[in-house]
Structure 1
Amino acid sequence: MNRLDIKQIQEIIPHRHPFLLVDYIEDYEPGQYAVGYKCVTYREDFFKGHFPEHPVMPGVLTVEALAQVGAVAILSEEKNKGKTAYFGGIQKCKFRGMVIPGDKIKLETKIIKSKGPVGIGQAAASVDGKVVVSAELTFIVGD
């Protein structure tokens, strides 16, 4: 298994606090897949305004976390080192559950298609084994 800590993740993708939404990568294969985790705490900035009486992580931020994990898979390939992976599209996105403070989100993105700078990742986020978000994410690798 190839594990990455937060500093190693920051060497691959450009995201930083408060927008870096991955705490560590448990395993990855460059250009193939990555599995990461986000440990959600009540101190996240978005909880101040996203239902203060009933804090819920915005679903689009869970999708972004999945995209960041996919970016680790893509940008860890030798040919893509030092580049940026941009969102190209989101297809078949389904929100199936809520993410709340105290949850540990498992983020899995598998690259299912890649041609030139464009590719597609099949992504799923789960909490305690239950899928809370799934989607196909299109990415474009640029300089």
Structure 2
Amino acid sequence: MTPSPTTTPDATRIDATQVDALNQELRSEQILNLLPHRYPFALVDRVVEQVPGKRAVAVKNVTINEPQFQGHFPGRPLMPGVLIVEAMAQVGGLIVMQMPNLPKGLFVFAGIDGVRFRRPVVPGDQLRISCELVSIRRQRFSKVRGRATVDGELVCEGELMFSLLD
């Protein structure tokens, strides 16, 4: 098993050198230290593989207990497509947040290109989300290519853009 980075009680973030030592798996506590999202909007359960700052593969376990299923749709719960894209964006955010030599700050989801949905996602599914860095410009703007699958079948794909807030 890969060792996990250590943090002090007042630490709010894992620094990139600690994550780089992992080079593999991130568990929920480590993800929460890197991303600002919290329940009910934290959509990455575990990173199962990564090259920090370049690519990551993560999972999101879809359960009937999630609040969106109360109304989307009663009697036939489907994960909203925008939440699938948001889960992909959060994995992309993990990549961007771990890039060396970038200014510190909050990188936000700034746009999408070519997103396509291929099949529905329902409670009980496990999304496997793969993202890789495509480009970075002026240390402020980045583009990530993402794909989400369930049981090896493509669910969603597209390019995601991020921008550093001042």
Give me the TM-score of the superposition, normalised by structure 1.
0.94
User: Which structure carries more strand by proportion?
Assistant: 1
RMSD, aligned CA? 1.4
Give me the TM-score of the superposition, normalised by structure 2.
0.82
User: Which residue in 2 is equivalent to 1:122?
Assistant: 145
- Point out where structure 2 has 5 or more consecutive residues left out of the alignment: 1-22
Percent of pairs identical after alignment? 38
* Aligned residue pairs, count: 143
CA shift in 2, pair 1:82/1:23, >3 Å: farther
Aligned AA (1:112): V
Whole-angstrom CA distance in 2 between matches of 1:78 and 1:2: 17
**Does the CA contact (< 8 Å) of 1:10 and 1:16 recur in 2?**
yes
- Find out whether 1:56 has 2:78 as its counterpart: yes
Whole-angstrom CA distance in 1 between matches of 2:93 and 2:38: 14
- Find out whether 1:3 has 2:25 as its counterpart: yes
Deviation readout 1:77-109 (Å, 9 max, x if unpaired): 244585322111100010101100000000111
- Find out whether 1:105 has 2:115 as its counterpart: no
Whole-angstrom CA distance in 1 between matches of 2:104 and 2:33: 9
Deviation readout 1:43-88 (Å, 9 max, x if unpaired): 1110001011100000010000000001111102244585322111
Question: Highest Rg: 1 or 2?
Answer: 2
Which 4+ runs in 1 deviate beyond 3 A?
78-82
**Deviation, structure 1 residue 30:** 2.0
The answer to which structure, 1 or 2, has the higher relative contact order (CA under 8 A, 6+ apart) is 1
**Does the CA contact (< 8 Å) of 1:12 and 1:82 recur in 2?**
no
Whole-angstrom CA distance in 2 between matches of 1:69 and 1:62: 11
- Point out where structure 1 has 5 or more consecutive residues left out of the alignment: none
Aligned AA (1:137): L
